[in-house]
Structure 1
Amino acid sequence: MSRTIIKTDDAPAAIGTYSQAVKCGNTVYLSGQIPLDPKTMTLVNATIEDEIHQVFKNLRAVATAAGGGLGDFAKLNVFLTDLGHFAKVNEIMATYFAEPYPARAAIGVASLPRGARVEADAVMVID
């Protein structure tokens, strides 16, 4: 099966040895996105809400570059340094996604790159 590397300037450039996404057949594996502004590569972190919105904006940009959208997500993983923000993730997620929602995991972690409080990755299936 062929692999296609997905890259867009509308999402932060990879800050390590990975691609923004990899498409294999009709499945797209999106790398984790932290709340970096794609133009400045600085953290958007005035509030946790700002961080969550930026993460979903970044995921949406990569999904669009791959030929899909947030509605095509089959699986979403959300990583939080404070699970006390879980309700806020649900609230904001509802503004980006509609039913049927993707399968999801929310995982508490000790730390994330660049001091971010939230990161998310996803698996998307496009027809």
Structure 2
Amino acid sequence: MVLLQERYSTNLPEFFHLLDVSYHSFNLERCDEKTFYISVELKYKANKVLCDFIYILDKPDMYGAISINEHYKQAVHFIKQQFNHSLKYTDELRLAHRFSKSTFFQRSFKQFASKYPRFMANKTT
């Protein structure tokens, strides 16, 4: 799949490598043919927060970010509280891109692609 290009790889926030992004759950029923949702936990030391990544599929490149839903404010607050950093959209893109390389993402994405093949032509896993 074509995801976030390395154009965002410079000036990573100092905390980026300390933050663990781990699989929480996947519910295929939350998705539609243009949007892939997967729930993750952002973890730092003993602290964690739930959030959802949303990946948009009806464009040539597939980009993921934190979904603006009931968990969004808690995720933003978590980053501010743990790292004294204001979460930026480019940070979200990087986190979603990093998670897209995980086994859990790949397994869930295959389920998604089997149900919604329409925009999969340019995406490979």
TM-score (norm 1): 0.28
Flag the structure with higher helix content: 2
Flag the structure with higher strand content: 1
TM-score (norm 2): 0.28
